[in-house]
């Protein structure tokens, strides 16, 4: 019997994989290293120091942008996760029917359409609402981020539902549980790892977004990524490296927790 194909055993695979990782992480390592540079150069090492982390922490614009980013990402992630959970339940706890594939494609549309197209569409749409209502607060950014993050939350939640055995839900129905009781006492506890994973993934995607934020935001609504972009257009200092390093650390921590939760078995 022929052995099963395994790409990891193919000739040259380890070399190619290591080379790809090297190209991917080398720029990140440079950013992290020079975040601890004591001098003002981002290319010449002048000694180890936490100077730029302290300066970034003392920068009120950075603090305000960070708080704003967390506020937007938190609200957007919650909205996206709730919508994604309902969509996942509607598309998995049903018999296959004509049009179901179209619904999958429609929910995942933000993943397939270039982000710049979504950003321009949201800019035009929200500009009309701003003119009609006069409101120009953070609500637009929260809604825009939530819409963009729905498929990112939907994928792990749907994957969790598809891996769950429906026998327990069927048994609950046989024991005269209402659909809501079956969901609250059976489906939801089993689905929690997928929901938490989708929530954290949506949070990270919103926290890192630049393109949609840049198009939708009003004056004085810079998030941390757009603030960094504005600073890079003027002058590049190790303070940007320090902010990027802190941002990278937070993102890696959240994605790691997402990975661990998504592997949890019940």
- Strand-pair partners of 37: 48
Residue 178 in domain:
yes
DSSP 37: B
- Write the pLDDT tens digit of every residue in 38-86: 888 777 788 888 888 888 888 888 889 889 999 999 999 999 999 999 9
Question: Which of helix, strand or coil describes residue 12?
Answer: coil
Predicted local distance difference test score (pLDDT) of residue 266 = 46
SS3 48: strand
Domain residues for the domain of 208 are 59-262
Total number of domains constituting the chain: 1
**Residue 60 neighbours by CB distance under 10 Å:** 7
- Confidence tier at 8 by pLDDT (50, 70, 90): low
Q: Is residue 103 part of a domain?
A: yes
227 near 217, Cβ under 8 Å? no
- 189: Cα separation from own chain's centroid: 23
Phi, psi (5° rounding) for residue 9? -95, 0
pLDDT in the model for residue 49 = 86
φ/ψ bin of 77: left (φ > 0), alpha (ψ from -120 to 50), beta (otherwise): alpha
Q: Tell me the C-alpha distance between 169 and 191, whole Å.
A: 12
The stretch 166-192 carries a mean pLDDT of: 82
Helix (H) or strand (E) holding 84: helix 60-92
Torsion angles phi and psi, residue 213, rounded to 5? -60, -45
Q: Which two tokens stand for residue 178?
A: 């209402």
* Of 145 and 253, more confident: 145
On the question of pLDDT at 265 being above 60, the answer is no
Dihedrals phi, psi of 186, to nearest 5 degrees: -120, -60
Assessment of whether the complete model's pTM goes beyond 0.85: no
Q: Is 27 exposed, middle or buried (0-12, 13-18, 19+ CB in 10 A)?
A: exposed
Name residues whose C-beta falls within 8 Å of residue 13's C-beta, 6 or more positions apart in sequence: 7
User: What dihedral do alpha carbons 149, 151, 157, 161 form, nearest 10°?
Assistant: 160
Residue 181 token pair: 């009781």
- Residue 75 structure tokens: 């609200």
Domain of 91: which CATH number?
1.10.3720.10
**Can you tell me the distance from the alpha carbon of 217 to that of 18, in angstroms, rounded to the nearest whole number?**
40
pLDDT tens column, 78-129: 999 999 999 998 888 877 778 778 888 888 888 888 889 989 999 999 988 9
| 210-226 per-position pLDDT tens digit | 999 999 988 888 898 88
Residue 1 has pLDDT above 50, yes or no: no
Calpha distance 242→28 (Å, rounded): 12
The answer to whether residue 146 is domain-embedded is yes
On whether residue 47 sits in a domain, the answer given is no
Region label for 36, one of left (φ > 0), alpha (ψ between -120 and 50) or beta (otherwise): alpha
Domain membership flag for residue 38: no
6 part of a folded domain: no
* Average confidence (pLDDT) over 160-168: 82
In a domain, 156, yes or no: yes
Q: Does some domain include residue 238?
A: yes
Retrieve residue 166's tokens.
Answer: 């429906």
């Amino acid at each position: 019997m022929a052995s099963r194909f395994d790409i990891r055993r193919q000739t040259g695979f380890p070399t190619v994989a290591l080379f790809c990782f090297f190209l991917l992480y080398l720029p990140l390592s440079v950013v992290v290293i020079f975040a601890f540079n004591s001098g003002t150069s981002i290319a010449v090492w002048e000694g180890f120091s936490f100077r730029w982390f302290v300066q970034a922490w003392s920068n009120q614009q950075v603090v305000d942008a960070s708080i704003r980013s967390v506020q937007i990402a938190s609200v957007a992630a919650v909205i996206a996760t709730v919508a994604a959970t309902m969509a996942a339940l509607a598309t998995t706890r049903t018999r296959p029917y004509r049009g179901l594939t179209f619904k999958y494609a429609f929910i995942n549309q933000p993943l397939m359409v270039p982000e710049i197209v979504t950003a321009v569409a949201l800019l035009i749409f929200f500009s009309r609402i701003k003119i009609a209502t006069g409101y120009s607060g953070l609500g637009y950014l929260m809604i825009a981020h939530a819409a963009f993050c729905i498929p990112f939350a939907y994928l792990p939640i749907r994957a969790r539902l598809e891996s769950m055995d429906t026998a327990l839900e069927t048994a609950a129905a046989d024991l005269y549980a209402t659909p809501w009781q079956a969901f609250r006492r059976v489906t939801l506890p089993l689905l929690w790892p997928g929901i938490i994973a989708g929530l954290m993934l949506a949070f990270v995607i919103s926290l890192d977004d630049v393109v949609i934020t840049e198009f939708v935001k009003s004056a004085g609504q810079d998030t941390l990524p757009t603030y960094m972009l504005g600073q890079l257009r003027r002058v590049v200092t190790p303070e940007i490296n320090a902010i990027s390093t802190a941002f990278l650390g937070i993102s890696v921590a959240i994605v790691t927790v997402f990975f661990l939760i998504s592997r949890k078995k019940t």
